[in-house]
Amino acid sequence: MADAITEEKVIDLTSPEYYINRELSHLQFNIRVLEQALDERHPLLDRLFFLCIFSKNLDEFYEVRVANLTQQLAYAREQAGADGMHPQQVLSAIHTLCSATVERQYHILNDTLLPALKAENIHFLRRADLTDAQRDWVRAYFEEAVQPLISPIGLDPSHPFPRLVNKSLNFIVALEGKDAFGRQTGMAIIPAPRSLPRIVRIPDELCGSGDNFIFLSSMIHEYADDLFPGMTVKGCYQFRVTRNADLELDHDDTADLASVLEDELHSRNFGEEMRLEVADNCPEDLANFLLHQFSLEQNDLYRVNGPVNLGRMMEVIGQINRPDLQYTPFTPGLPKHIKFNKSIFESIRDKDVLLLHPFESFTPVVDLLREAAKDPNVRAIKQTLYRTGAKSEIVNALVDAARNGKEVTVVIELRARFDEEENLYLANRLQEAGAVVVYGVVGYKTHAKMMLIVRKEGDKYKRYIHLGTGNYHAGNARAYTDYSFMTCDDSIGEDVHKVFQQLTGMGEALRIKKLFHAPFTLHKKLIEMIDRERGHAEAGKPALIRLKANGLTEPKVIRALYKASQAGVQIELIIRGMCCLRPGVEGVSDNIRVRSVVGRFLEHTRVYYFLNNGKDEIYAASADLMERNLLNRVETAFPIENNKLKERMKTELEAYILDNCQAWDLQQDGTYVRAQPAEGEEPVLAQNILLETLASAS
């Protein structure tokens, strides 16, 4: 009798069942942000901040991601991702998830945060709560500051429905009676003045104590009758429309990117409508009227129990002087050899510098550029800028360097979404100072974070390099976690020089020794390193991969990770936001664990770690593990070769692996479960550990 032949099940790793939809995964990240508003480990005003951030994130999600899906349908360009979901299916799932989450958001505001704020003597007053003195002040404010700026629009054949600005606050008003011309339209629109704050502080002398605010929308509701003399306001309801705000440029037809971008920026306020938010008490007929005017469906309507733009509540946090309700400020740390050296160049020559912001200071990065701007031995400076900030110390130093006769070349990415206008301003400022400004490569966003300084030392030129995982933005460096690496390693200096040559000049891709750079080698090298780790596992050797990034969506990288898992490689992924990999699937991803850490600071570091049979390798990078970063952007990944710095980074990664308070573990179905300390286990918060070990040394 012939032996029975057992056939192994062949697993098709391209099958949609092994992939999570990127848009739904993106929403799951926003849900984790919203959950921070309920986490009592955060101070109260920071919990309000998380609620506001959720609103802003959701706005951008509709302005960009939902807009992209809608356009795919409109122009018959439907593209299913690796998960196989059709855009129409994704939009339907988005609506279901967003409807429930937005309703939860307003419950958190009304049932948790506002009562907690009230208990701390911070009040958002309703019209019925006002005292006579407060009511008199509100009326005076309305008459003096609000009414002169309002232009109510009655709707009739000569006054068609106005074109309303993206995310602006507006009111639809039901009217009764005739106006001075005998018109009886029954309806009007009140656009709220965009120049006014959405929340107004009532003078302290009119209040018993504490902090007291009133919403602009409450004022307009209260005095809407004054805007329509002789008529009766039967109802006044706030609403807001969110539009497509993603700029589209025809690269084949673009002779001057800056001028084309300037023309397109204005259109962002009037793109196609994506979502309508209305007050939950708005009558059905008025809501349907608005839907019709915006060519939207019922699925695009969100009824909300509160202000239609909760993101604007962030304005009040800076007006409340309650240090006890916010995180205690800290002083970022500084490595000792930087602290005591007179020159930053001297510090870098002593040894490579690694900084982890915000736990460690961003100041050395700024100081490096400031010193270079003044140093007579510095001949040239080259820099990439993606998001920098309008009042940037980095740009100030570059301007000074250009005026001091240095050869300054700046690669500014004009298409950094929602920072385009600011970057145009910075480009003009740098050019006026004498810097050479280029806009990178058409079709490929320049997302790499690089600074190169050429200094004459003796009879030779020496290159000093800064490479980072985050932007040259001092504000971000206080709120985002990012690595900064400074070195004068000759090979890395030569590599960075070649990348700048490719950005500013033309020619074939140059051979680079130590850096991996997209769109040329980074994607290929990542897969090679994953496959190498798989080979070690197949040979019976210990094998470990740890990757930290903001997103993991690129299918070939995911498939390589699946194959490595099947071979027995232990894979630990710390992915803050979107993750399309499905962990814990039997026979596919049994050895893969995915977690997201959401805490006081926004996790932004990108780190790739490979055990490599005991000869471990670790890279920091500007690139997430996404198609756009690995294939369609200019990115860099740079090695950390100093053993002491490598051990330090491994320890810092380990903190995120061990976090049992602010980490969320991805489940097979795409949802996340928050990690909790086991019984008797000590709480571990990665960000707190880093604060204690790095900032406390300052």
Catalytic residues: 447
Kindly give the pairing relationship between strand 187-191 and strand 153-154.
Answer: antiparallel
Q: Where on the phi/psi map is residue 676: left (φ > 0), alpha (ψ -120 to 50), or beta? A: beta
Q: What are phi and psi of 464, to 5 degrees?
A: -115, 135
Q: How far apart are CA 683 and CA 205, in angstroms?
A: 45
Question: For residue 620, which of 504, 455, 482 has the smallest C-alpha distance?
Answer: 482
Q: How far apart are CA 279 and CA 196, in angstroms?
A: 20
Q: What tokens appear for 256 in the block?
A: 């001057």
3-class SS at 615? coil
Q: Dihedral of CA 420/426/429/431: which sign?
A: negative
Q: Helical H runs in 548-626?
A: 555-567
The per-type count for the chain, helices as H runs and strands as E runs, is 21, 27
Q: What are phi and psi of 389, to 5 degrees?
A: 100, 140
Q: Give the C-alpha distances (Å, rounded to integers) separating 20 from 60, 553, 596.
A: 21, 9, 15
Q: Which residues contact 610 (CB under 8 A, 6 or more apart)?
A: 529, 530, 532, 533, 544, 545, 616, 617, 618
3-class SS at 54? helix
Does residue 25 contact residue 580 with C-beta atoms inside 8 Å?
A: yes
Kindly give the pairing relationship between strand 170-176 and strand 187-191.
Answer: antiparallel
Peptide bond into 358 cis (omega under 30): yes
Does residue 660 contact residue 684 with C-beta atoms inside 8 Å?
A: yes
Residue 353 forms beta bridges with which residues?
A: 486
